[in-house]
Amino acid sequence: MKQWRPSPHRACVRAGTHALAAFGLALISVTAAGAAKLGGPYFVDDAEIGKVGSCENEQWASSAHNGDHIYVFSPACVVQQGAPVEIGTNLVNFRSNGVIDATASLTAKTVPIPLPGGGRPGFGLALSSAFVWDLTSNTLNGLILNVPLSYDFSKALRLNINVGMQYLTDPSVLLATAGVGVSWNFVDQWSIISEVFALMGPGQTNPRFQTGLRYNPIKAVDCDFIYGRNLTGEGANWFTVALTVRIGEDG
């Protein structure tokens, strides 16, 4: 019997994922002296989205020493649907254990309890989800639900805690998800983002972690350089390069 392993995109889609990640996620510049918002290839999400009318485009490439890879293109915009909602998609190409596949996801995220803002300490709560479609088999791949909770200690330091679930269709299995992450804007234009997370269910190997260095050359652009371990449960070392470009976040 073939042993089931999660496809690599499930570690990257923003339900967060970034994804889950994540997963769509609006980012702010650390040049504005704020704690780095998550997005791109991070699994642990935060309780924040951009303002209504803003959009972003995330692209990243992850490679493991065993030959696995993940390539992602992820645009998203924030619209007013009673409350602000971030609507996006993740287009993913991945290689896992010698098998190449592609998926497309529809993602949504809203923030019923916003963070205080202005560098004031306090909590925020978000809700996010993703609907994942397998482009190779033209079938439903899975559903993702995530609850990000964030606490701002200051303008420069944020703690993120996630709990959620992923339902996978082939084979049919329900996984619990959890993660903890910290983002620290230690100097203008530079942040460190670290996270540890787990997918809990049949055949899973935990924990999994990533640590990244983020550079903001200008307010509208984020560049991430990330080292990870065991991202998809395979026990490999990963390196990721990511680029995020935003519009409509001025003011």
Place of tokens 């065991």: 230
- pLDDT tens across 53-66, in order? 999 999 999 999 99
In sign, the C-alpha dihedral spanning 94, 10, 13, 170 is positive
- pLDDT tens across 80-134, in order? 999 999 999 999 999 988 889 999 999 999 999 999 988 899 999 999 999 999 9
Helix, strand or coil, per DSSP, at residue 120: coil
Determine phi and psi for 229, rounding to 5 degrees: -140, 130
Place of tokens 């990533």: 210
Annotation: CATH topology of 8-247: Porin (2.40.160)
pLDDT of residue 39: 62
pLDDT over 90 for what percent of the chain? 77
Are 87 and 107 a contacting pair, CB within 8 Å?
yes
Structure tokens that stand for 24 in this block: 């769509």
Q: In the predicted model, what is the mean pLDDT of the chain?
A: 85
As a whole number of Å, the CA-based R_g of the chain is 16
**Residue 142 and residue 202: Cα distance in Å, rounded?**
16
